Chain A
Amino acid sequence: MLFKKLLRTIWHYKAQFISMIIMVLLGVGVFVGFQGEWKSIEQDTFSFYKSTGFADYRLVSEAGYSKEDMDKIASIDGVDKISRYISVKTNESKENDVIAVTVTTNFDVSSFVVTSGEQYDDSSLDAIWVNDQYASKNNYKLNDEMTLKYGAVSLKGTIKGLIKSSEYLICTPGENQMMPDFNTYGYVYISPEKYKTDLGGFEFYPEIHVISKLSKKEFSDSANEKLGKTNLILTKNEITSYFEAQGEASEGKTMASILPVVFLGIAVLIMATTMQRLTINEKTQIGTLKALGFRDARIVRHYTLFGLFIGVIGSLLGVGFGYFIAWFIFNPGGSMGTYFDLPSWAIHMPWWTFLVVFGVVVFMTLISYISAKNMLKGTAADALKPYTPKAMKRLKIEDSKGWRRLKFATKWNLRDLFRHKARSFMTLFGVFGCTVLLVASFLMMDSMIGFVNKFYYGSMNYASQISLKDETTKEKALEIVSYYDADYSASTNVSLNEEAIAMDIYNISHDYVRFLDKEMAYLKLSDDGVYIGQRLMESNNLKIGETFKVSVFGSDTTYTLKLAGQLRTLTKGVVMSQKYADEIGITYKINQVFTSKEKDTINKDTKYSDFISTVKSRNDIIKSFDSFMQVMYVMIGALIVLSIILGIVVLYNLGTMSYFERYRELSTLKVVGFKDKKIGKLLISQNMWLTVAGYLIGVPAGIGITFVLMKALASEYEMKLIFGWMTVVIPLILILGVSLFVSYLVARKNKKIDMVEALKVPE
């Protein structure tokens, strides 16, 4: 019988029940979804690395490694698998796209998975295994012929398989291109036999890839000792396809640990208040059951089922919704799919996520239990009495001079806010939470757009970037610089405290390349020191004015550099002027040229084409940045939309609660002669006060949370919070809009007040 009552009560309070289920659904959904996003990146990339033998260490040498060198490294205790490896950029004959031709001498290391076609054959002299995404974008099919050119060498073969390799998980040609573009850049694998044959019996492997559990120091010491020289040894943490993917996962983890937790917190607290109020509304019925002779335990059990019901249904739907959110962010057809080239896009969830969801159900059940218990306090007669809110007491502000001048509506609303503190606080908290989420979302978006805009549109002040071939002499390079009236740079890798970092030496006379200082202003490189980013400064505990040493790989040369300033940068590296480099005697090779000439003009001009490896237009790079921003837009956009929905549900729920709690007062006003519009204004104005107050405290909190978030994300981006007017104005418009809309919906109920029925209720 009580079960029937349970179902009918749920039906009676359907609006509240639905809103509570929606709140659990949203809170749990956002929480689960964001946890699923980072866990799926972590898990799916991990599986991919494992199945393709992603190397832990890479020895790099411009002179190349022989089989003997590899055998020496293989003899180190703790080296599990080893391979010689090369990835060289070639030009595809049809479209002149850049294709990285890859060879690994041991298929257990740095290899690939076949998505269609034939498996790998290490002795094939004809087969080419092509990245499936590049093949799809460029209409290559299995058994098609493909020709790749590297200088005078021509590699021809038949496409035998379509593949994915974790080496190219993020398939970008260079560090200043954030997103892959498979229309113009891809990769292929060929067998070592084909490589050797096509090169006329010659083989050159500039890298040794190693799978080992040794620490970097253990491995470096052993490798340097075995080979008898200092080697450039890169850990997987220095490889884009690893650190960017793990950075994305850790970025997701950081975001998931703050914003969705706020989201879940708001939903659960407001739901708890609603649950408690709902039980209060049932007080007379609880009393009736008690008076009839039902035992307290049975009544409590009955009312506890309400919380359990909402918790279970909401959580189940929430988990489903969470999986949808995770899929929405992390799926091959979405924006993440334009970033990662993964063979599996399965959604994974951290185990403790389900524990949290279980906790939500327990919490909801507990709230129902406690609320019902409270209603049963005292005798059956006590329980039968309808719930009355606390008697009104004078507020302290009533002693102030201005109080008497306040309008009736203001006094009424103010006293009501204090009389129903829990409800008022929850409304305030709901608006506060939504403001925090909205401000944080917009601020993050503004900061990222601001930073990347300044970095791309401002710092890259050139039209084209020309990469010179390795064999280009300094004299020839300077000739090219002069011919294109360009700025130039020389990039090489050095070691700073065992970490491989880039060392970029610039000669800038046209301002084609600019640098951002700590305050996001453009700075001119001084000639009395070097510049590094915040991450390197912090990880090496460096301060401006101090000196530090970097060592050159493959030699005993070290340079002592003076730190002249801090930069905001996307890469980890040292930047200096050519004058400073010359002063301290650094030897370098010019390999990048920056010019205002357009890419097409340079490509058409054959004068120096033998010395140019690639030409990239600034627009190509910016296009990839737009794709990168898409990923951010999707995540932040989802958060904004869900915050607004949460705001609507929270405010509607609390607004309705407030309306029902004041039903009698509103009826009295109506009987006395107040019009619906005037009563509606009363209700709306109270909501608007709370909205404005919630917004005002939400803005600094939102900024604070974003600051914490940015700090936590500092290992990924070196960004500064950028406040645009939109950061605070758009959330204000959205919050006010949501509040007005919801208040209007609630105020409309006035028209349906049954004055006769309402006033029958005894006080």
Chain B
Amino acid sequence: MSLIEFKNVSRIYKVGDHEQKALDNVNLNIEESKFIVILGPSGAGKSTLLNLLGGLDSPTNGQILVEGKDISKLDNNSLADYRASTVGFVFQSYNLIPTLTVFENVSLVKEIVKNPLSVNEMLNEVGLEDHKDKFPSELSGGEQQRVSIARALAKNPKILLCDEPTGALDSETGALVLKVLLSMARNYRKTIIIVTHNQNIAKMADTIIRVKSGHIKEVINQDNPLSVDEVDW
């Protein structure tokens, strides 16, 4: 059984009298512990796909099964539990809490998860153990994104969802962040799904899903993905 299954999923937004199909009858299977990259132009529906999977949004039609459980039918509280236990998010704009220190931002997950990973261990992994008492405003963009990764993984989720995680970073920093992200995801055996415009990131993926105008155009499985160091940034 696949970890994630999209069955005839559609997401239609109403803008005034006009209906806009962000996703149109999408079917998709994603296996566990894989690194998936979703590629597509702006407005193709890739972020919508990620938001539906993350429980931030609900489909208009269809089913989204995660570990066999249909998350499209969950109520608000169950969705919150799902987000807390099953998925971790990494955003382009980091979304750290500005009034909490690095350590506290990661510790936040202890409030909602019963068996989180060690905060110190996560900060060590992302190389920020010396910055743990700093506030987000005292960190660079790359450092903030690494905190965001540590926070996402500290929940020990099954799936890591990343929306343009390097979009706000220069290529060098972006590569460094990706390296951390991938190595941690692999170390902790996470399924990682990245939405991006960046073709280079796709070279590292186990599976590439191309999305266009709300449809899955193609799914490419790569037998020999490149490592971060092998990609020409």
- Chain A minimum-CB-distance residue to B91: A759
CB distance from B102 to the nearest CB of A (A): 12
Given A392-B137, A408-B108, A408-B111: A671 in contact with B83 (beta carbons within 8 A): yes
Residue-wise, chain A 663-683 has the 8 Å CB interface mask toward B (1 for contact) of 011011111111110100000
Q: A394, A667, A675: which contacts B80 (Cβ < 8 A)?
A: A675
* Residue of A393, A419, A667, A668 with most chain B CB atoms under a 10 A cut-off: A668
- Give bound CA distance, A419 to B135, whole Å: 12
The answer to whether A392 and B113 have CB atoms under 8 Å apart is no
Nearest B residue to A390 via CB reads B137
In the complex, the answer to whether B93 meets A759 with C-beta atoms within 8 Å is yes
A416 to B135, CA, bound (A): 13
User: Quick check: is B57 within 8 A (CB to CB) of the other chain?
Assistant: yes
Contact A412 B100 (CB under 8 A): yes
Contact indicator B111/A674 (Cβ below 8 Å): yes
Residues of B within 8 A of A419 (CB): 98-99
From A391, A411, A672, B109 is in contact (CB under 8 Å) with A672
Q: 1/0 per position for B76-120, CB-CB distance to A under 8 A?
A: 110011111100010101111111100010011111110000000
What number of A-B contacts does a CB cutoff of 8 Å give?
Answer: 96
Chain A residues whose CB sits within 8 angstroms of the CB of B57 once the complex forms: 755-756
CA A137 – CA B83 in complex, angstroms?
76
Is A415 in contact with B94, judged by CB distance below 8 angstroms? no
Chain A residues with CB under 8 A of B89: 671-672
Q: Does B51 have its Cβ within 8 Å of any Cβ on chain A?
A: yes
- Considering only residues 457-495 of chain A, those with a C-beta below 8 Å from chain B are none
Residues of A within 8 A of B77 (CB): 675-676
A749 within 8 A of B: no
Minimum Cβ distance to chain A for residue B59 (Å): 13
In the assembled complex, how far is the CB of residue B71 from the closest CB belonging to chain A, in whole angstroms?
13
A762 in the interface (beta carbon within 8 A) = yes
For the complex formed, measure the closest distance between the CB of B118 and the CB atoms of chain A, giving whole angstroms: 17
Interface residues on A, range: 20 to 34
Contact check, B99 vs A412: say whether CB atoms are below 8 A apart.
yes
- A interface secondary structure, majority: helix
B54 interface contact, C-beta 8 A: yes
In the complex, chain B residues whose CB is within 8 Å of the CB of A538: none
The interface residues of chain A lying within 8 Å CB-to-CB of B98 are 389, 391-392, 419, 665
- Chain B residue at smallest Cβ distance from A389: B98
* Chain B residue at minimum C-beta to C-beta distance from A408: B111
Q: Quick one: which of B114-158 are within 8 Å of A by CB?
A: 133, 135-138, 151, 155
Most B Cβ at <10 Å: residue of A393, A669, A756: A756
Q: How far is it, in angstroms, between the C-alpha of A715 and the C-alpha of B220 when the chains are bound?
A: 93
Chain A residues near B84 (CB, 8 Å)?
A: 672-674
Q: A205–B38 Cα gap in the complex (Å)?
A: 110
Choice from B83, B93, B108, B137 contacting A391 with Cβ under 8 Å: B137
B56 at the interface (CB under 8 A from A): yes
Contact B94 A755 (CB under 8 A): no
- List B contacts of A411 (CB < 8 A): 99-100, 104
**Given A408-B111, A411-B104, A412-B100, are A674 and B80 neighbors across the interface (CB < 8 Å)?**
yes
- A763 at the B interface (CB under 8 A): yes
Give which listed residue, B51, B82, B99, B133, contacts A416 with CB less than 8 A.
B99
The distance from the CB of B40 to the nearest CB of chain A, in whole angstroms, is 17
> Bound state CA distance, A670 and B84, in angstroms?
9
Question: Which of the residues A392, A756, A763 comes within 8 Å of B99, measured between beta carbons?
Answer: A392
Decide if B100 touches A672 in the complex (CB within 8 Å). no
Bound Cα distance A408, B99 (Å): 11
Question: Chain B residues with Cβ under 8 A from A761's Cβ?
Answer: 93
Q: How far is the CB of B85 from chain A (nearest CB, A)?
A: 7
B111 touches A678 (CB 8 A): yes
- A393 engages B135 (CB within 8 Å): yes
Contact-size category for B = 35 or more
With both beta carbons as reference points, the residue of chain A lying nearest to B95 in the complex is identified as A668
**What is the CA–CA distance of A412 and B112 in the complex, to the nearest angstrom?**
15
B100 surroundings in chain A (CB, below 8 A): 408, 411-412, 415
Q: Does A751 contact B (CB under 8 A)?
A: yes
Give the shortest distance, in Å, between A196 (CB) and chain B (any CB).
Answer: 91
On chain A, the residues within 8 Å of B51 by CB distance are 755-756
Q: Is B54 a contact of A671 with CB atoms below 8 Å?
A: yes
Q: How far does the alpha carbon of A673 sit from the alpha carbon of B82 in the complex, in Å?
A: 7
Given A673-B83, A756-B57; A392-B135 close (CB under 8 Å): yes
Chain A residues in 8 Å Cβ range of B104? 408, 411
- Residue of A392, A409, A670 with most partner-chain B CB within 10 A: A392
A408 to B113, CA, bound (A): 14
Roughly how many angstroms separate A412 CA and B100 CA in the complex, as a whole number?
6
Contact B95 A671 (CB under 8 A): yes
- List the B side residues contacting A408 at CB < 8 Å: 100, 104, 107-108, 110-111
CB atoms of B94 and A763 under 8 A apart: yes
Q: How far is the CA of A415 from the CA of B54 in the complex (A)?
A: 29
In the complex, which residues of chain A have a beta carbon less than 8 angstroms from the beta carbon of B82? 673
Bound-state CA distance A672–B148 (Å) is 11
Question: Which of B56, B77, B94, B98 has most A Cβ within 10 Å?
Answer: B98
CB distance from B50 to the nearest CB of A (A): 10
Q: Most chain-A Cβ atoms within 10 A of its Cβ — which of B81, B97, B104, B138?
A: B97
* A387-401 interface bits toward B, Cβ cutoff 8 Å, 1 = contact, 0 = none: 001011110000000
Complex CA distance for A664 and B56, rounded to whole angstroms: 14
Name the distance in Å between A208's Cβ and chain B's nearest Cβ: 80
Q: Which residues of B have CB within 8 Å of A751?
A: 76
B99 and A672: CB pair below 8 A?
Answer: no
Which of A391, A673, A756 has the most B CB atoms < 10 Å from its CB? A673
Question: Which of B76, B112, B137, B155 is within 8 Å of A676, CB to CB?
Answer: B76
CB distance from A390 to the nearest CB of B (A): 9
A759, chain B: closest CB distance, angstroms: 6
Nearest Cβ on chain A to B42's Cβ, whole angstroms: 12
Q: How far is the CA of A392 from the CA of B134 in the complex (A)?
A: 10
Residue in B56, B99, B133 whose CB lies within 8 Å of A755: B56
Partner of A673, one of B85, B99, B137: B85
| Cα of A673 to Cα of B151 in the assembled complex, Å | 12
From 729 to 763 in chain A, residues with beta carbon under 8 angstroms from any chain B beta carbon are 751, 755-756, 759, 761-763
Measured CB to CB, the closest approach of chain A to B38, in angstroms, equals 16
Residues of A within 8 A of B133 (CB): 394
**Mask of B52-63 contacts with A, CB within 8 angstroms, 1/0:** 001011000000
In the complex, the answer to whether B93 meets A670 with C-beta atoms within 8 Å is no
Report how far A78 CA is from B44 CA in the complex, Å.
99
Q: Is the CB of B97 within 8 A of A412?
A: yes
Known: A392-B135, A756-B51. A673 touches B80 (CB 8 A): yes
Instruction: Report 27 cross-chain contacts, Cβ distance below 8 Å, ordered by A residue.
Output: A392-B98, A392-B135, A393-B135, A394-B133, A409-B111, A411-B104, A419-B99, A665-B97, A665-B99, A667-B95, A669-B97, A672-B151, A673-B83, A673-B112, A673-B113, A673-B155, A674-B111, A675-B80, A675-B81, A676-B77, A751-B76, A755-B56, A755-B57, A756-B51, A759-B95, A761-B93, A763-B93
Which 3 pairs of residues, A with B, have the shortest CB-CB distance?
Answer: A673-B84, A391-B137, A415-B99
Other contacts beyond A391-B98, A393-B135: 11, CB < 8 A: A391-B138, A392-B98, A408-B100, A411-B104, A412-B99, A415-B99, A667-B95, A672-B83, A672-B155, A673-B80, A756-B51
Listed in ascending order, the chain B residues whose CB lies under 8 Å from chain A are: 47, 51, 54, 56-57, 76-77, 80-85, 89, 91, 93-100, 104, 107-113, 133, 135-138, 151, 155
